[in-house]
Structures are given as structure tokens and as C-alpha cells.
Chain A
Amino acid sequence: MRPILAAERLGRVLPGEIPVTLVQDVTLAVERGEFVVIMGPSGSGKSSLLYLLGLLDTPTSGRVLLDGQDTSGFGEDELAATRLRKLGFVFQFHFLLAEFSVLDNVLLPLRRLGVLTEDAARRRARELLDQLGLSEHGHKRPYQISGGQRQRVAIARALANDPPLILADEPTGNLDTRAAANVRQILRDLTRAFGKTVIAVTHDLTFAGAADRRIGIVDGRIDPDWRA
């Protein structure tokens, strides 16, 4: 079976008077249903790699294959459309829209995709909130719930359009131990029970311990010997 996500000799250089190399020569493949974490010291380029894998940034060399499809020729609109359908993001800071209710935040990608009717989209969003234990918080604003709850809303939103791949950037970085354990469990369950693929960047060793595979990044390269 072909990998859901593959990177071939991926490189990203920030242009400028002194060009900065963020990522260089990264080749990796992630299988469907795998739970992969990317680890490394601060500033090693692991977040940059995640943005490249998540089609948020375009590589200066190499290419990303998503579900076997080469994305290197994609324009901005195609990249956006791909993100909408195939990728879900969870960031360290929850990045919910403060002016919208929890339910409306989860509805955002559903409404943008516009495949489901408004009623069906609402049902789907409520289902996701139920599954993540947030059923009674749908009408609340993001600032009225706890950090762990917010991160679960972010996960619900990432799952809204049922993408095969979830990308998380320090998903537990801002949470207390209990909330972190909860988020870790949810992400792991996604790979086990729902066949999702999760790629997460983390500093959190406990979190990394739950993953199927750990990839170490040092100075923008994969370092097979890296240990936290």
C-alpha cells in the first residue's frame, strides 16, 4: 500500500541576504493509520518540516506526495482546497476564532467545503463535540472553556471534513498533565479506532512515548541517532 504521506529530499531555505536553511534533504514516508511524532531541540526545524508536510509552506527543493499525488505543481488555490479536504491542523495555541461559539468553530471547515447541508453539518459538528466530551459546551465562546477543552475543540475542527491526515504542532505544549494525557489519548485513538494518520511535533516525552514512531530532527535534517 502506498504511504499516505511521503517527502522526497525536502528542503526549505528562507531567502535573504544571509539565506537561512530551515529544512534540508528530508525523505520520509508515513503509512496510513500511523501515529508519528517529530522531535528535536528548539529551532531544529521540526515545525518548519510540519508546515511543509501540511502544505502550508512550499518547499524550495524536493516534493511532498499526499496519498501518492505530487503536490509540487499545486497553485495556492489547489493547496488550499487540498488542506480543506485532506488535512486537519491542531496547533499549540488553540487558534479558535474568539468571536464564534465552539460549535461555529467546528462548523467553519464544514461550511467552507459546503458539501453537507446546514442541518447535516450541524449534526456532524455536534457528533464530533459529543465524541470529544464537549457536548454541553457547543454554545460557549472559546474563552469560556478550559485550555484542554479548547484543544479538543481544535481537534474536533480538524476532524470536521473527515481528513485522512491530522497534523499537530505541540498539541500538548500548553496543557497541564491531565489535559495533555487526554489529548494524547484522543490522538492515539484516532489512529487506532478511526484509521486516521497523525503526525505531531512535540517536546513532550510522555506524548512521544505513545507514538508508533519517533523521527528526530537536528539542524533541519533527520537524525536517526537523536534521543531526547
Chain B
Amino acid sequence: MKYPVHIFSQGPKIIELNWPEIISEDILIEIIVLKNRIENKWHLYIASIYHSYQVLSIQLKEGAPTAEFIVWVESAIQQPLQSQHLPQRWIWTVPVCYDPELVPSQSKYLEEKNMDLETLVALHTSQSLLLYFYGFLPGFMYLGGLPEPLHIARKKIPDRKISQGSVAIGGSQTGIYPVDSPGGWYVVGKTPIAIFENGKINLPFNPGDKVQFAAISPQRYTEIQEGSIHDWEKKSYGG
């Protein structure tokens, strides 16, 4: 690995690998590569493995050979990054409707920013955003790369309910609310794709992939919402 990685155990079953506290694509790639190597070798003993920006967490099952595992990881973090362990990455198109009638609360954002709708849409769809990890809510994506002119301080008093499918901005982040939740972010659009439906989770994106928002009309919004399974548009991404 290019970065120094520290191993920290919280008891015999929770082992964490810590990269420097930086939000960067380089670190994310190192985490994904090491995660895949660990999964290949140790899957029988792993209860769960996931990560945030710079912490890779491994929870071992009862009876796992913890000491042996740590020795192996200590040596793995010394080795250079092996790109064959990096999976195929994709840029996924996520349709978003920015129509003021569908998303009336959008006006709060535009007023606060003194911005017009065209600028908001142009900026919000201007570049693809890197998926770092899922957290906060079931299926909530931590996306990086929101253009600076769109940043906005979070609401001091969170709204009691941001509805499922809302696309919102808070601080330097943007994301989709997969389920209804209270929240302090400003809603700017809505996606017609249901992330949780009939006991299934509709989230084909993996950390390391990118998400590209694409503006759609209210008519298209309804069509997608009423359609059965969404046909995801994606193209390959080389990093």
C-alpha cells in the first residue's frame, strides 16, 4: 500500500485497518483491493466486512484464528497494490426529476443559494460522483465530488421528514434518501427508482463506482415509477 495502514482491534472479533484521515479516491481504491484480497482468503471466518472513507472493518466469526489473521494482514498491507484485485468499475446513470411542481421544497435551496433552477440542474448533473460507502440510513450512499458552488450549510433545525427518493444536498455532500427519514439536508430533486421495494434492495452500485445524475421530465419520472424493473444505464469507468 502507498499509505501507512494501522491495525486496531476492539476485542478479538472486531479488527479495523486505518488509513490516514483523508477523503480520497486513492485510499478508497487501496481499501477495495485489500478488502477483496481478505475476502478471497478468509471468507470462511468473516462475519462482515465493510468500510467508510478510511477505515476497513472486519468482524470475525466465533472461533476464527484471529492471531493468524492479523499476521497475514500485517504482511498484506506492506505489499504493493495489486490491480488484479480491483473489480470492474462503472458509472451509473441515475434519473432525477428537478421539476418544481414535483419537488416544491426545492425553492428553499434556490432562495438560500440565490440560484436559478437551470444552474442547479446544470451543476448537479455536470459530473459523476464517486461512491465511497453506504451508511447513515439503509442504502444511503456517501458520494464525493459535488461541485463547490452547490455546497450549502445544513439546516439548523432538521426537517421531520424527507421522503423516500428525495435527492438532497447538505454541506459538501449530495445523496438519495432511500427511505423516509428526518434530515437537515435541502431537497433538490426526486428519483423515481425505488431503492427498497417488495422486500428487495435495488442498489447495483458498489463503492468505487460512480453515480451520474441525469435530469428527466415529470412525464419520464412517472413512466419509470410505473414501470417494473429499472434497466440501469451504465458505462465502464477506468478510474
Q: Judge: A and B partners, yes or no.
A: no
Interface residues of B (CB under 8 A from A): none
Interface residues of A (CB under 8 A from B): none
